[in-house]
Structure 1
């Protein structure tokens, strides 16, 4: 770790020539709870008006703390799942209620989830919290509906996703944001000061967003311009702004660039070489080739593991960074949990030799038919059970610090969560917010830590 930027792969900022930013939830911060509540309300309205869902949906209250990123929807069974790095299920809910252990075992046994299977839908963006909450709430309504007025679970999942996509596509959400910018958008002067510092070091800065030009202009006018000096605007800050980029297609399809007139938003075809300016659409290949860049000359920063990071890493060789806003709370909780973790570790060290003794005695009894002291075996078993009970209490106290339904974002029990695994695999570095990177020197050398392999720990 350097500063507050966490390193998966070595990255030398000195060698980076272009730094790109996604806009929503990255360069421009949202009040996530307010925005997700708006998404929840908007999806409900679209389901009732466009899909014929009952008016009862309007009584549903949004619970921002119910879901976390990285969950998976089982479309067929109406369940929400949390996976570890190997896609084994480590927590499961049906609707808003945890699945009983026996029911879980009957449904899934030791199943490893195949995420390429269309029966499963990943909840992997900041915008997906409201989707997961609403899906779970409607599952509960369906289960308690004797009139059978709701469709099957899979159709509910598809309908909720369609409603969210439509809300983004038709401007329903953005129109509400425009009406009350201060309620949804967080201004941060440190972002502008940090960008200015990077410009002094010769870095070129660009924006690559799926939002349209007019909405992008609105947010950049609101969040960037108030902190610019000497009459300058965000036009002077960013070498290139690409709107309606259709990520992740931008990284692997041959979409055409359109040149945007910043005065009125009108567009014309780009018939010449790509360069500084404002655009719509386009593709990473032309971006890189026309600017005379190698892929590792570019660092792109986003908040979406699939749209911004995963496909970019697979289809281009740009360097990647990810913003995970909710990680800040998890790091604080980790620090608070450390004394409890130490107590658990002490109890585990106390338990392990007892388990070894019990294993040895039972092995003698079974393999060699040797006489063993049954009283000693019973005492060992009793002592181990007592220690397990203590550990269980400490674990409950530890888990209470995190999301009460799903626990930690980055872990599934002692293992990495699937979200953490994807982050580790595809993001070179990650942080909780953009200023964490911008407060550092543009010449910073991020060195990845040496990670011990399991056999090196002994």
Structure 2
């Protein structure tokens, strides 16, 4: 840690861990939106079942399948909707050969690389099962069903279906984190700059961190960037940055074309929206990405992109690892 000058954190599923009730806001809201899109009323009887799914799975949109790959990209387990595929059927579809090597890449496949997408995969599998049992009720292709599920869930994150209830009663949806304040304080006492880099907008970020850290939550950070739009933040050096007025969440366009301008902007207020990695590095006075460590939960936009593109040191939150290792040891024992 001696060479690390700055330590950054994502918000959702990193500093903030959510309860099942949070997932249900997205799930129930998406169900209502799907019915409004014309899906059959049977969808209203669906129940959220998060124990069936975890990050790291892969959705085959065209076939209506969900896959679990090993480290060699071999399909170890496959489900069609809610039904497990037999070994012979799985191998017939996904077996590798010299002529055809499955790439498992977009747009045919979608990775479940964040906990936010567990609602998507649960609903998708249930709808695939419903389509197979009652094909006359769901004429859409599996791929179209996936797109409409993704749209319904995404709308819940944008229209207040999720954020409004969390703002009213955060304790119902967010786990308390009594050691969080001490951890952030210890990093600052150790001479590290501590920053927050999240795709959530300021109004929601404020609700969550006031619950976790109290009304003076901003004191725990040297810099806060909300609405970052990762992975774009890590890839596009031309994205504009705005100052956030913490009194009313209004935005002000600012210039950070040099380190001097960035330092001046930071001295006038430490909460921003959007921007790109150049702005971050200038405000933190970093000469190299390897002097920064970032902690997040999203395998692609938090970890892989930042490490490969910018050379950041990264830490991935993997709460599922204990269970995964236990299952692996059991299968090999």
Q: After TM superposition, is the score higher than 0.5?
A: yes
Moved more, 53-62 or 103-112: 103-112
Matched, 1:108 2:94: yes
- Alpha-carbon separation, structure 2, partners of 1:238 and 1:146: 53
Moved more, 243-252 or 97-106: 97-106
Match of 2:142 among 138, 153, 164: 153
Root-mean-square deviation (Å): 1.9
CA contact (8 A) 2:197 2:226 kept: yes
Higher relative contact order (CA 8 A, sep 6+): 1
1:368 match: none
Deviation, 1:82, is 0.9
Match of 2:285 among 286, 292, 309: 292
1:104-143 correspondence to structure 2 within 5 Å: 104-110=90-96, 112-143=101-132
- Larger Rg over CA atoms: 1
- Alpha-carbon separation, structure 1, partners of 2:74 and 2:106: 15
2:308 match: 314
CA contact (8 A) 2:193 2:284 kept: no
2:63 match: 77
- Alpha-carbon separation, structure 2, partners of 1:274 and 1:21: 20
Deviation, 1:316, is 0.8
1:167 match: 156
- Alpha-carbon separation, structure 1, partners of 2:70 and 2:102: 10
1:456 match: none
Matched, 1:269 2:253: yes
Matched, 1:246 2:233: no
Q: Report how many aligned residue pairs link the two structures.
A: 319
Match of 1:235 among 218, 223, 231: 218
TM-score calculated relative to the size of structure 2: 0.90
- Alpha-carbon separation, structure 2, partners of 1:297 and 1:52: 52
CA contact (8 A) 2:295 2:316 kept: yes
> Please, which runs of 5 or more residues in structure 1 have no aligned partner?
1-12, 227-232, 342-397, 400-412, 415-458
1:34 match: 21
SS at match of 2:107: coil
1:181 match: 170
CA contact (8 A) 2:6 2:284 kept: no
> Please, which runs of 5 or more residues in structure 2 have no aligned partner?
none
Cα distance, 1:154–1:87 mapped onto 2, change above 3 Å? same
CA contact (8 A) 1:79 1:95 kept: yes
1:197-212 correspondence to structure 2 within 5 Å: 197-212=186-201
Q: Deviations over 1:406-456 (max 9, x none)?
A: xxxxxxx79xxxxxxxxxxxxxxxxxxxxxxxxxxxxxxxxxxxxxxxxxx
CA contact (8 A) 2:40 2:137 kept: no
TM-score calculated relative to the size of structure 1: 0.66
2:185 match: 196
Deviation, 1:109, is 3.2
